[in-house]
Amino acid sequence: MSLLHQDSPEAIDDAALGEEFTKGTSHLVWASLIAAVLMTVAVAIYVVAGEKKPVVAGEIVQVWAHPRHVETSGIDASGAPMAKQSFDEVLIFARVKLKNQIEYPLVMQDVLANATLADGIDSISAGSAAQYDEVFLAYPEVAALRGNPLSSHATIAPGESLDGNAFWIARLNKQAWDARKNLDFTFKFQYQSSVVLAPHTAVMEQ
């Protein structure tokens, strides 16, 4: 046989090595894909497991608004004359339901009404439970809205619920109030994240 047609051992070895290298590369590709999929699943599980439900489950049951234009009488408490003043305001009332979803008591620090107006967001702190009673003495025309007052500094025990009415007084005229773009409420808690709730029904004007 001619030497030209002999397969040299070196050529055979190189071919075998090339085939083994190709197989090894294929295995590496599959291993990398599997590792990537496993990593994606692990990250997804970590994210889902790490997600925490809100400290409070809540609902804004209903919101009422009472726009007012106020003019003082020009006489002080002692009967002496004084300069008259006039201003506009909107009384905001909301019935709120809250439930503590964590294993520790929740202590409220404030409840804000956030009205998005043409010039930005106007956030107002809720009045106290004691002031709630005073509002209905000062404004008898809204007596029909009176209910159980919600204290903006209430403590909610684990698993317990709170149901009551909160109120705010916004120094706005009716035109600005009617032109608002949004209205929601922020519940601030000690040592916990705040919770923002929006009403699911239209604001009723009283």
Buried b (16+ CB within 10 A) or exposed e, 129-156: beebeebeeeeeebeebeeebbbbeeeb
Tell me the C-alpha distance between 122 and 153, whole Å.
21
The whole-number average pLDDT for the span 120-134 is 94
Q: Cβ-count burial of 124 within 10 angstroms (0-12 exposed, 13-18 middle, 19+ buried)?
A: middle
Cβ-contact 197, 58 below 8 angstroms:
yes
In terms of CATH architecture, what is 56-205? Sandwich (2.60)
Collect all residues with Cβ–Cβ distance below 8 Å to 109 and sequence separation of at least 6.
152, 153, 188, 189, 190
**Threshold 0.75, pTM exceeds:** no
Tell me the C-alpha distance between 142 and 54, whole Å.
34
Tell me the C-alpha distance between 26 and 16, whole Å.
16
| Token representation of residue 3 | 């030497």
3-class secondary structure, 138: helix
Mean model confidence pLDDT for the chain: 82
Cβ-contact 98, 161 below 8 angstroms:
yes
The full set of domain ranges for the chain reads 3-50, 56-205
Listed in sequence order, the DSSP H helices in 57-199 are 129-138, 174-178
The whole-number average pLDDT for the span 147-167 is 95
Give me the pLDDT at residue 50, please.
41
pLDDT tens-digit readout, 48-69: 334 467 899 999 999 999 999 8
Residue 71 has pLDDT above 90, yes or no: no
Give me the pLDDT at residue 206, please.
85
